[in-house]
Amino acid sequence: MPPITPVSSSPAPVSAPLEMMLGDKGPAVAQLQQQLSKAGFPLEADGDWGPKTEAAVRKFQQTHGLKVDGIVGPKTQAVLAKAAGTPAPPPSRPSPTFDLTKELSSGDSELSIAIGVAEGTRKPDGSMTAAYEGHTDPANQKPNKGTFSYQGEAYSPRNADSKQLENLRQFRPQYEAACRKAGLDPSNKMLAAAAFDLYNQAPEAATGKGGLLDQLPALAKKGVTAQSLAEARYQSFYDPASGKFETNMTLKDLKADQKRRMTELVKVVGDQPPTAGPSLHIKVDFVSQFDSRVPGDYAGQRPAARCDNACEYMMRNTSDRSHRVVPGQTNAAVMKSDSAALQYLEGQLSAGKPVMLGVNRPHGTNPASNLFGIDHYVVATGMGVDDQGRKFISFNDPKYTDSAQGSDRNPQNRLYLENGTFVQRGSSEPYDLRGIVRNG
């Protein structure tokens, strides 16, 4: 692995609200144009900040004694809202997760600004520092430009941002796959900011052998915090093949730099983990396989068959009417738990449809007589994250007579993704996921 040179720019300044300026597009610009029109500066609300909008903004600022810089920040926005007789837009409620498609589409997104703050090219309010227009990398003396300190050919900082965003989008599939394998939520703000910032700084440290993506399973056990991410980023520069840290910095400076960058990222994305608990829950009342409502109650009926029947009964009769489904009843309808099957599972749950899952207890054994080593079936009813940001699937387990033990309200009735396999936690004989039954 070639030496990795981290880009260390000037420290980032203090925070304030986001700004809009020439070249911006979208609903926020259209709303700005409407406000300017109401304030006496007529414009077409086309959502495209061009020369006419620029001229109107500057004229408005001059008329109202504001700094004439063509940038609509908090002061200009407050005065404009008052002049237009409209309330200032409410501050957006911070979310603990990212929509990565949105975040990787603009150099002015929250994720982009966070990386810019770590680079020293942006302020936490989104405004630009002098380094944004261009600066020299102190490590390799190459010219940098834009939010991400882009070092390739670019005719403007905005063009540099556009080119680097394309590079970051190419990293996304690898990042998301590694998160899912480790059982982590790829949309977790702190995790995503740390990963994409490290990839922007030193791609090999993110994707190379022993890099950050390889450390995600260990992070899942420790918990995703600013401190654990800073340490993982530092360790990402260690190359197990050479037995050395691949960096031109001293190890002391490397550790300090990774801690500093995490501190800067947190200024923008915050350091609060997602609220633990189900993020999606489908109403399916718990039914035990020993419940008198379950069909097939006759002398000699196998417990496994009654378990299957209880799962189907829950899905057909106790779900909210719009969510009722009939699971497949043949082996042909059972998919082995692989990436395609897990994608189907998440898709069905997201659509509000419970799914019948084949599990085995204890984890690691393999009954030869059953398809895929399935011991019995449970009903998946939702998805969520725990207090360490790890994704889980919740389920009702008809194997129990007591609803407190068998229902999805029991925190133990969760399967966590670990190394590509969903596994139960907190049990002396944990389940693992063996099969997923297609809904009819």
Q: For residue 276, what pLDDT is reported?
A: 54
Token pair belonging to 34 = 């409407």
Q: pLDDT (tens digit, 9 = 90+) per residue, 52-68?
A: 999 999 999 888 888 88
Q: pLDDT (tens digit, 9 = 90+) per residue, 380-407?
A: 998 887 766 677 899 999 998 888 889 9
Other CB atoms within a 10 A radius of the CB of residue 11 amount to: 11
| Amino acid letter for position 121 | T
Q: For residue 296, what pLDDT is reported?
A: 62
Sorted by where each begins, the domain ranges of the chain are 27-84, 100-269, 278-437
Q: Which of these, 208, 206, 213, lies nearest to 176 by C-alpha position?
A: 213
397: left (phi over 0), alpha (psi -120 to 50) or beta: beta
**Residue 205 confidence (pLDDT) above 90:** yes
253: left (phi over 0), alpha (psi -120 to 50) or beta: alpha
Kindly report the CATH number that applies to the domain delimited by 278-437: 3.90.70
**Mean pLDDT, all residues of the chain:** 83
What is the Cα–Cα distance from 101 to 105, expressed in whole angstroms?
6
What is the Cα–Cα distance from 357 to 414, expressed in whole angstroms?
12
Confidence band for 274, pLDDT divided at 50, 70 and 90: low
Query: Percent of the chain scored above 90 by pLDDT?
Result: 34
Confidence band for 360, pLDDT divided at 50, 70 and 90: confident
Q: Which helix (H) or strand (E) holds 395?
A: strand 391-396
Q: pLDDT (tens digit, 9 = 90+) per residue, 77-134?
A: 888 888 887 655 544 445 678 889 999 999 999 999 999 999 999 998 889 999 999 8
From residue 274, give the alpha-carbon distance in Å to each of 96, 188, 286. Answer: 5, 7, 27
Token pair belonging to 96 = 């603990």
- Is 236 within 8 Å of 211 (Cβ atoms)? yes
- Is 363 within 8 Å of 276 (Cβ atoms)? no
Fold of the 27-84 domain = Muramoyl-pentapeptide Carboxypeptidase; domain 1 (1.10.101)
From residue 258, give the alpha-carbon distance in Å to each of 91, 120, 167, 282, 356. Answer: 30, 14, 21, 41, 44
